[in-house]
Structure 1
Amino acid sequence: MELPVKTFRITRADLVRYAGASGDFNPIHWSDRFATKVGLPGVIAHGMYTMALVGRAVTEWAGSPDAVVDYSVRFTRPVVVPDDDEGTEIEVSAVVKEVTEDGLTRLELTATCLGVKVLGQAKATVRSRG
């Protein structure tokens, strides 16, 4: 069973807000000049911000943040955020891999940006509602 796709827009303004909240002011998240100097294609979203957006999709599907029992990802590709008003989008999808007898649902997650997978081995376990 597939769950409905969730789409999240990421702009440079989001990166500024996340940097302030997290304390991660690494210039790869705000300076094109610095990001390209270190070999990146441009400014990239914080990996933990991308992970948080995917986690938001999981909590929305689960119906409550406290329903999430386990959640893990592996960062595989950066999410490049252009310096414009549009930014970029990540799309999050999930497939139900198993529903256990004790009411746990295991999800296999996919997060893509411009059709490219940005997370690997992404999975979550949620407690069924009811």
Structure 2
Amino acid sequence: MTVRLSDVAKGDELPALNVPVTREDLVRYAGASGDFNRIHWNERFATEVGLPDVIAHGMFTMALAGRLVSEWTGDPGAIVDYGVRFTRPVVVPDDGVGALLELTGKVAAVNEDGTVKVAITARSAEQGVLGGASALVRLPE
């Protein structure tokens, strides 16, 4: 389903997206990205450097948050700008369950140039993990 500009208003909420994140996901992302930093797979190392446990890659977290928007638009190419600040890591325990990343979004503005600004909220373990997350999308008329 493709969202149309004429169907969007400031304050509209995007369908929520809840994504489980497991250690297996982190290993796969490490292989795809080439980021094999031990904080993303070795619990002993992660705790030695002051982390509570293994953490998800920031760029993986960012990509999952972007998925919230691309699934809403129906077209990943509709995203013309996207940015976040990393405020807190997603801690991924080795318990067979992992972490849950809870993603929500709201239309923050419908601009005169036909673009739409979406404010994104990303939470894990009841805490925000991304700050200032937003996407600018161009929707079909």
Q: Normalization by structure 2: what TM-score? A: 0.89
What is the one-letter code of the residue matched to 1:27?
R
1:105–1:125 CA contact under 8 A, matched in 2 = yes
Q: Which runs of 5+ in 1 are unaligned?
A: none
Which deviates further from its counterpart, 38-47 or 102-111?
A: 102-111
Q: Aligned residue for 2:98?
A: 87
CA contact (8 A) 2:106 2:119 kept: yes
* Letter of the structure 2 residue corresponding to residue 53 of structure 1: L
- Verify the 8 A CA contact 2:68 2:105 in the aligned structure 1: no
**Residue type matched to 2:128 in 1?**
K
Cα distance in 2 between the residues matched to 1:106 and 1:88:
28
User: What's the TM-score once normalised by structure 1's chain length?
Assistant: 0.97
* 1:77 and 2:115 aligned: no
CA contact (8 A) 1:62 1:129 kept: no
- 2:117–2:137 contact (8 Å) kept in structure 1: yes
1:124 counterpart letter in structure 2: A
Equivalenced residues, count: 130
Question: Percentage identity across aligned positions?
Answer: 60
- In structure 2, list runs of 5 or more residues that go unmatched: 1-11
> Equivalent residue for 1:65?
76
Which letter maps to 2:97? E
Query: Residue 37 of structure 2 corresponds to which residue in structure 1?
Result: 26
The aligned amino acid for 1:3 is: L
Deviation at residue 61 of structure 1 after TM alignment: 1.0
Q: What are the residue-to-residue correspondences of 1:1-130 with 2, within 5 Å?
A: 1-130=12-141
One-letter code of the match for 1:5? A
Taking the aligned partners of 2:111 and 2:89, their CA distance within structure 1 comes to 34
